[in-house]
Amino acid sequence: MLTPADALTRLDAALAAARAAGADAADALYVGDGATSISVRLGTLEDIGRAEGEEIGIRVFVGQRSASVSSSDLTSAALREAAQRAVAMARLAPEDPYAGLAPEDRLARGPLAELDVDDPTQISAATLKERALACEDAARAVAGVTNSEGGGASAGTVVMALATSTGFRGGKRSTSHGLSASVVAGTGSDMQRDYAWHSARYLADIEAPEDIGARAGRRAVQRLHPIKLPSGQMPILFYPRVSASLIGHLVGAITGSAIARGTSFLKDKLGEAILSAGLSIIDDPLRRRGLRSRAFDGEGLPAARTAIIENGVLNGWLMDAASARQLGLAPTGHASRGTSGPPGAGTTNLHLEGGTVSPAELMADIKQGVLVTELIGMGVNGLTGDYSRGASGYLIENGVITRPVAEITIAGNLIDMYARMIAANDLTFRHASNAPTLRIDGMMVAGS
């Protein structure tokens, strides 16, 4: 794996090769990664793996025609060949009036923000094994746990660098650490599984293995003896480990490409109230040690904190350069890409804020409802906003969580769901996308 500085030198060579081959403009992206992972089961090592790879992607423009190629061979000769192939492909491609690099006057300039995403701590495979065993052991020690799907620990490093023929050059090195356990409780026909995990940029920020494992064990035991509910309308609470999926559906509907194609249920909602007053959805790529923190986007534009929804109102679309041109707008610094194709648009560290009551207060007046802790399937229609997913969790009766619930389907329409959404004040930053406990009244539950 190259250092960011060495990667930029290779990218400069790739761009020079593209220009020599006849490209009018080009950009090049390097991604190198290495990860060690350990899995254990029932106290025994089950698998150990080490994966490494690196690749350079070259995107070229010949007039309004473009093409992308990638190569895992980073020698000068291979990069020259890749650039020549890309230019030849571009000359055969159809013209695209929106094709092109990001506007030069909008590129990130000067020193890039330091986001503290590179942990210098070295961890051995032996230590990873110890951590995975400790996590699984803690889960298996919970009374009622009868089997294990395993524990795992991992550590990885990624180097990413981007250079454009318009003068942008930037790179970063980042690290990640992870720890998890998944166990089974019960016997015979009444067995339930659950899990817990944590990931962070720095090893020191990961929860203790014993805490993660014990939580996995408790969750599995708490799900024993689930009941089935009769069908009907009732309030649904989304537990934080699943609530962020709701803002993920919203983000997918406001990308520039979805708006340009007219395939989004929110295409006519710009400037309108989508959520309740007081709620905001924030994308913050500059969060220190964030799991998706970055100083620049996939096209070299500066990254900045964005209030996608502020005080309930949808402020704008998430756009890369191409979708921005198609919509007659400016790119927003949300381009995201890999080495084998053009950029799209996406978010980084995303969260929903503005909740003012505790989860207990949020459910206090519910006579009968469901706290959803797990969602199954992907039954969301991005064109209409219709929502239908399998779910399990816990019954809420007279404001108190009582019995586990399984094998239900919850359904509604996302526009109506967002309008009725009420947030609790238990937001924590554990994942790339974070949301507090969320309540939505009037959802349909299909049960027995």
Q: What is the pLDDT of residues 321-361, one digit of tens each?
A: 999 999 999 999 999 999 998 999 999 999 999 999 999 99
Q: Quick one: pLDDT at residue 265?
A: 97
Contact 434/442 with Cβ under 8 angstroms?
Answer: no
**pLDDT, tens only, 120-152:** 999 999 999 999 999 999 999 999 999 999 999
pLDDT score at 37: 98
Tell me the torsion sign for CA atoms 444, 241, 131, 138.
negative
Whether residue 382 is predicted with pLDDT greater than 80 in this model: the reply is yes
CA distance 225 to 94: 60
Task: Summarize pLDDT for 58-101 with one digit per residue, the tens.
Answer: 999 999 999 999 999 999 999 999 999 999 999 999 999 999 99
Mean pLDDT of 182-187: 97
pLDDT digits (tens, 9 = 90+) for 195-215: 999 999 999 999 999 999 999
Residue whose pair of structure tokens reads 């619930």 in the numeric block: 405
The Cα–Cα gap between 448 and 97 comes to 54
Q: In the CATH hierarchy, which top-level class contains the domain 4-221?
A: alpha beta
Please report the pLDDT score of residue 266 as a whole number.
97
Per-residue tokens: 52:
């490494």
Q: Is the dihedral of CA 208, 212, 213, 215 positive or negative?
A: positive
pLDDT at 114: 95
pLDDT digits 0-9 by tens, 260-280:
999 999 999 999 999 999 999
For the chain, give every domain's residue range: 4-221, 226-448
CA–CA dist 389, 193 (Å, integer)? 19
Task: Name the percent of the chain lying above pLDDT 90.
Answer: 97
pLDDT in tens, 221-265: 999 999 989 999 999 999 999 999 999 999 999 999 999 999 999
Mean pLDDT score across all residues of the chain: 96
Half-sphere exposure of 289 (CA within 13 A, CB side): 13
Burial of 298: CB neighbours in 10 Å, binned 0-12, 13-18, 19+: buried
Q: Specify the amino acid at residue 57.
A: G
Chain CA centroid to CA 405, Å: 28
Whole-number pLDDT of residue 365: 97
Closest C-alpha among 39, 310, 73 to residue 178: 39
Task: Supply the pLDDT for residue 448.
Answer: 76
Buried b / exposed e over 389-418, threshold 16 CB at 10 Å, is bebbbbbbeeeebeebbbebbbebbbbebb
DSSP 100: S
- Rounded to 5 degrees, what angle do the CA atoms 327, 328, 332 make? 80
The residues, any chain, with a CB within 8 Å of residue 309's CB and separated by 6 or more, are: 250, 274, 275, 279, 280, 281, 315
The span from the CA of 248 to the CA of 412, in Å, is 16
**182, 170 contact by CB (below 8 A):** no
Q: Residue 209: what pLDDT?
A: 98
Residue at 32: amino acid letter: G
Instruction: Express each pLDDT in 5-50 by its tens digit.
Output: 999 999 999 999 999 999 999 999 999 999 999 999 999 999 999 9
